Amino acid sequence: MASWTGAEVERSITQPTSADGAPAGPAARRAARGVDGSAVEPEEQISLAPHAWGLALVFLCLVVYFVSQPNGNNLYLHFVLQAQAWLDGHTAIPMPQYQDVMPIKDASGTPTGYGIIPFPPLPAWVLLPFVSIWHLGTDQHLLATVFAAIDVGIAYWMLGYLRVSHNIRTLTSLFLGLGTVLWYTAAIGSTWFWAHIVAVGCLLLSVGMALAADRDAAEPLGFKDAASSLRRLSWPGGRLSVVLLGTLGAAGELLFVLAGGMASAASLTVVGVVLSLLAGALAVVVAGRPGVLAPIVTAVAVVAGIPVLLFVNAQSQVAIVLVDVVLLVLVIAVWRAGDRPEGRVERARSSVWAALSNPESLQVAAGILFGLAVTARLTILLGFPFLILVGGGGTWLRRAMLAGAGAAVPLVTLLVVTYATSGHLFNPAYDYLYHVELGEYGGVFNYHSDWSITDIRYIPQNLGIMLFGMPRILPQFAGVYPGDSGTPLCVATSVRGLFDTSCPLAIPEATGTSIFLSSPAYLLAPLAFIPLLARKLDRVTVGATLAVGAIAFVNLMHFSQGWVQFGYRFSNDFAPFAIVLVALGASRLGRFWPVLVPLVIASIAVNLWGTVWGVMLGW
């Protein structure tokens, strides 16, 4: 293994002795060093070179994503319609001329012309600032390319908290951007793909926060060490945290009781606010310091405050002018105060930064970002074990409770927003659309009317798509239905070409392609378990593996696996955890780590082929 330098490992936050008395890990008890024992330069002396590499990756992917889809056509704009509806003061959207919208009917059963989308709200929430300016003319495809490129930059930042060389860090980030289906996702940018892009960004930030808070997560632990850690576990926060947990459970039950009794959305909103306050109180009790609330306050201000201003702007121009004046006065006041040496503003800024950057606060922030990712893609919820094993807090219970308190705020908000939109805590549009697809495509895709929308019996056929899905080789027909169906090929000629739409050598199968065929660098992920041969494993490897396995398992239970796609788009849900395993797997090959290079090149080549074909086929 090559040694690291300060320019190759980017970390800024140490993990001190935990507040509950748990001892700090090995990295806090010895001088920083690489796996081969060589010294690591002080991290305060990090050069700007890594940041330049990260920006270069973002720019490269942005250019590639943009030129991949020259037409920029996007026929499916559910989230743009939803954002505009919110700005207009409505929860339902006008019925579009395309799929995946449940129509709303009046008491007589007559369609009202409005409908409910089945998707979680965060992707529409992110679009609010843009829709407030460009309205229904918002270019969601362009935003998808920009945000997906930013995701690659976030991945580069996140991987900087792993003890891997800069070469591996850069190549793994490049692999995510151009060697996985994130490329195809950005090139298409329609409703379902935009949701993936938003979720991936939030999840990468969450993983990065957890790694930043836990400097020992990648340190190998023996089985005896793990057993000793279990014996040392004590209940965080004492009796007060038990009381708060019980109260949280009671308030959560009240939320479901009120929803079952068809209470008003305002009533559920009050209970939701109480739940969020209780979650914040739990975080304070477990961490032992009120500063842990800083990430929650920041998240509420950003995620809730900005949309509120946009709603005000949409409803009243006079109100937004008053808000602008107040903000301008505040900015001038802060600027004047900050210009003074040793001023109050500077002291306040230092205090806020200290509150945000301690390990417990970072774990709460990781939980908030994780919860936000769930409000874009629900199945990400199953990745929570990662935050139990990795993050600030010192023990598994403290990590879980701090991250859980942070995640509770966006998750409770999700329930309240869903109820306000649909009258149910869980969106009924899912079940409606399942029965629509059963009627239209059930026989073609082997859907079963007597099975539920998420059923363990769907796993075998879906696992075949995820692991063994193949493109059509020397195809006779081109179409979105499986098998020999669609437009006849090679009618006028029998000479086949790589990108010849009339007579191709191969074309993607619209039901999906094996993740190992479309992204062969994923084959390095199992090598992260090499330390197991010496009866040692680290918490990052175990946590990431549990997250990947749990998310993939639930996705495979879903009746549909993302039809009309190249690759396997559901892999975006666990990609942030999977690339951690790829980076660790490559690093544990020691001097043989360059095997990552041809695998990344092969991954990029396959995704280039698949993305070009997806665009040419109009997917």
Give the other-Cβ count within 10 Å of 224's Cβ.
9
Is 547:385 a contact under the CB 8 Å cutoff? yes
pLDDT in tens, 59-100: 999 999 999 988 776 779 999 999 999 998 889 999 998 889
* Cβ contacts of 543 within 8 Å, gap of 6 or more: 217, 385, 386, 387, 388, 389, 390, 577
Using CA atoms, how far apart are residues 431 and 232, in angstroms rounded to an integer?
46
The reply to whether the predicted model has a pTM over 0.85 is yes
Asked if 589 and 527 touch (Cβ cutoff 8 Å), the reply is yes
Within 8 A by CB and 6+ apart from 335, the residues are none
Place of tokens 């836990």: 214
Distances (CA, A) of 583 to 4, 39, 374: 15, 21, 24
Interval 236-257: pLDDT, tens = 888 899 999 999 999 999 999 9
| CA distance readout (Å), 187 to 432, 481, 522 | 29, 22, 21
Which residues of the chain are under the pLDDT cut of 70?
1-50, 73, 223-233, 309, 311-321, 323-324, 327, 330-331, 334-355
Q: How many CB atoms lie within 10 A of CB 254?
A: 16
In order, the DSSP letters of 146-208 are: HHHHHHHHHHHHHHTTSS--HHHHHHHHHHHHHHSTHHHHHHH--HHHHHHHHHHHHHHHHHH
The domain limits of the chain are: 78-136, 237-422
